[in-house]
Chains A and B, each alone.
Chain A
């Protein structure tokens, strides 16, 4: 039921939570695709715009999964209506599952919408759809959990913005959404390899092209491990009642 409420919440403001991010992603596509399309190095023989689409789809998935759990939780905390959930016989694990699943759903819905709309004017192969789906799911889950963690930790919207602007945004931008990290100089390439977001994008892209910077199995291991670690940390905080139950 909490899952249902969480789904209902973002669906009720779907212009803001679904349509807006889809539009943003399409603008990125138009701007980067056309401005950089001619000059950027192709990746594995692909036109730049084809290369760009999976990156943008995954970026939308990740950002929206994060935005959903973090903003829902922080709003409930600030307005105080979190008490209705805390008063109910809901376990911390159920709480976790509801927030994460709803956020994964939003991430995937936005991602699917971006993908569907871009397919209209970009030719895209789908070499390994299961890999794409798997990375989409795990990536959304990881960001949903991170959103929950950020929402738990933050007492104010500003603190959440710090998390978003100094952690999530740079990690997304340095993850190879807009370029292949092979085009980067050595230091930046090594830095990208330390960024879990890189593996999510790279693995997702593998699902389309069947080629990637890093073997997909390695990417999968990195993403899955990150998910497990962050989930355990968040579950631990929820169990202790961190910033929820005094």
Chain B
């Protein structure tokens, strides 16, 4: 696959289990070796110039891994040390503060809940202030409250100029936060575009109409996808067609009883692209 992610993007790698999202991230971060091809992080080849590449990457692994020998603060100090950095407790305090870890700074890693451990993983990825942050399923198994907190924090990092790359199979999260999406299936990119374009291109709008008289004017039947009595479901390519539909209804003097426009849904796009749509 060939993929280029620009600086400052909020990018999602989407795909079913086994699509190759984590493998791709592992190749980027140096946890796996590519059989062929190359990956560069801000110009640094991840194999030949691995030191520079890894300094620019902050990776949050998918598994909740931790070192049971250490406290949160020690874990972060050690991690900073692995990157050859002098102790910078001010920065560590700041990171812990933003992730709500302050109260647990001196607790042993073993004593933390799953959600707390996840936050430490995020903090660990940030100790060396990397310009690019890679999150592998950051919200898997995380409760709603923490999930929101995490997204706020990640969005903040993105606004501060960090490039964010994440994998997820929560489609609504990618839809809400990411500006560009690559959809993967069996190790290939099946779609790569801005979130907006993907939704526009593939999904369109769903318009549900209940009309008086129980009949649609001619010319709208081509857009009809389902009918339940006087309730019609139409698929529109874009919002522009809405105008056209309304005009037809007015011309034919058909009164609208009920109208409901469904926004495009990434799930729909996803299912169609990965070939699981019914």
For B16, the chain A residues whose CB sits under 8 A away are none
A88–B29 CA distance with the chains assembled, in angstroms: 9
Q: Is B50 an interface residue, CB under 8 A from the partner? A: yes
Does chain A have a CB within 8 A of B67? yes
Is there contact, CB below 8 Å, between A5 and B78?
Answer: yes
Set of chain A residues within 8 Å of B61, measured between Cβ atoms: 80, 83
How near does chain B come to A88, taking the closest CB pair, in angstroms?
4
Cα–Cα, bound, A80→B83 (Å): 19
Interface: B30 (CB within 8 A): yes
Which residues 1-15 in A have Cβ within 8 Å of B in the complex? 1-2, 4-5, 8-9, 12-13
Q: Mark B93-127, 1 if CB is under 8 A from A, else 0.
A: 00000000000000000000000000000001000
Contacts of B78 in A (CB 8 A): 1, 4-5, 8
Contact B29 A87 (CB under 8 A): yes
The distance from the CB of B247 to the nearest CB of chain A, in whole angstroms, is 58
Q: For the complex, what is the distance from the CA of A88 to the CA of B82, rounded to whole Å?
A: 6
A84 touches B124 (CB 8 A): yes
A236 at the interface (CB under 8 A from B): no
- Asked if B84 and A81 make an inter-chain contact with CB atoms under 8 angstroms apart, the answer reads no
Task: Please indicate the chain A residues that have their CB under 8 angstroms from the CB of B79 in the complex.
Answer: 84, 88
Contact B54 A5 (CB under 8 A): no
Nearest CB in chain A to that of B55: its residue: A89
Nearest CB on B from A142, distance (A) = 26
Is A79 engaged at the interface, CB distance under 8 Å to the other chain? yes
Could you tell me if A1 and B84 are in contact, using CB atoms closer than 8 angstroms?
yes
Specify which of B26, B63, B65 is in contact with A246 (CB 8 Å cutoff).
Answer: B26
Question: Complex: how many Å from CA A200 to CA B125?
Answer: 44
- Decide if B81 touches A246 in the complex (CB within 8 Å): no
Q: Cβ of A169 < 8 Å from any Cβ of B?
A: no
Contact check: which of A13, A80, A90 meets B82 at CB < 8 Å? A90
- CB-contact partner of B83 in A5, A86, A88, under 8 A: A88
**Size bin of chain B's contact surface:** 20 to 34
Q: Does A170 contact B (CB under 8 A)?
A: no
Q: Are B83 and A81 in contact (CB under 8 A)?
A: no
Structural contact, B65 and A87, CB atoms closer than 8 A? no
Complex: A55 Cα to B261 Cα, angstroms? 84
Tell whether, in the assembled complex, residue B84 and residue A89 are in contact, meaning their CB atoms are under 8 Å apart: yes
Complex contacts, B67 vs chain A, CB 8 Å: 76, 79, 81, 84
Closest to B49 in A: A89
The verdict on A27 contacting chain B, using a C-beta distance below 8 Å, is no
Whether B81 contacts A87 by the Cβ 8 Å rule is no
A79 contacts across to B, CB distance below 8 A: 65-68
Complex alpha-carbon distance, A125 and B55, angstroms: 53
CB-CB under 8 A for A245 and B82, given A84-B124, A89-B51, A89-B54: no
- CB neighbours (8 Å) of A1 from chain B are 78, 81-82, 84
Decide yes or no: A245 and B30 within 8 Å by CB, A12-B69, A81-B65, A83-B61 being known contacts.
Answer: yes
- From B30, B68, B124, contact of A86 by CB (8 A): B30
| Contact in complex: B31, A2 (CB < 8 Å) | no
A241 at the interface (CB under 8 A from B): yes
A246 touching B82, Cβ below 8 Å: no
Rounded to whole Å, the gap between the CB of A22 and the closest CB of chain B is: 21
Which A residues are CB-close (under 8 A) to B59? Answer: 83, 87
Query: Closest CB of chain A to B253's CB: distance in Å?
Result: 67
Quick one: closest A residue to B83, CB to CB? Answer: A88
CA distance A80 to B136 in the complex (A): 15
Docked Cα-Cα span, A4 to B87, in Å, equals 13
Distance A12 CA – B55 CA, assembled complex (angstroms): 29
B32, CB-defined interface residue at 8 Å: yes
CB of B84 within 8 A of CB of A86, answer no
Bound Cα distance A81, B84 (Å): 19
A4: which B residues are within 8 A, CB to CB? Answer: 78, 81
Q: Report the Cα distance A4→B81, complex, angstroms.
A: 9
Residues on A with beta carbons closer than 8 Å to the beta carbon of B84: 1, 89
Q: List, in ascending order, chain B residues with CB within 8 A of A246's CB.
A: 26, 31-33
Task: Choose one: B57, B63, B69, B81; the contact of A9 (CB below 8 Å).
Answer: B69
User: Is there contact, CB below 8 Å, between B54 and A245?
Assistant: no
The closest CB in chain A to the CB of B82 belongs to A88
The residue from B32, B65, B83 contacting A245, defined by CB atoms under 8 A apart: B32
Complex Cα gap A152–B17 (Å): 29
> In this assembly, does A20 line the interface, its C-beta being within 8 Å of a C-beta of chain B?
no
Confirm or deny: A46 has a beta carbon within 8 angstroms of a beta carbon on chain B.
Answer: no
State whether A13 touches B69 (Cβ < 8 A): yes
Name A residues whose Cβ lies closer than 8 Å to a Cβ of B: 1-2, 4-5, 8-9, 12-13, 76, 79-81, 83-91, 241, 245-246
Interface residues of B (CB under 8 A from A): 26, 29-33, 50-52, 54-55, 57, 59, 61, 63, 65-70, 74, 78-79, 81-84, 124
Q: What are some 8 contacts across the A-B interface (CB < 8 A)?
A: A1-B78, A1-B82, A9-B69, A79-B66, A88-B79, A89-B51, A89-B55, A246-B31
Question: Top 5 nearest A-B pairs by Cβ distance?
Answer: A1-B81, A88-B82, A80-B65, A89-B51, A89-B54
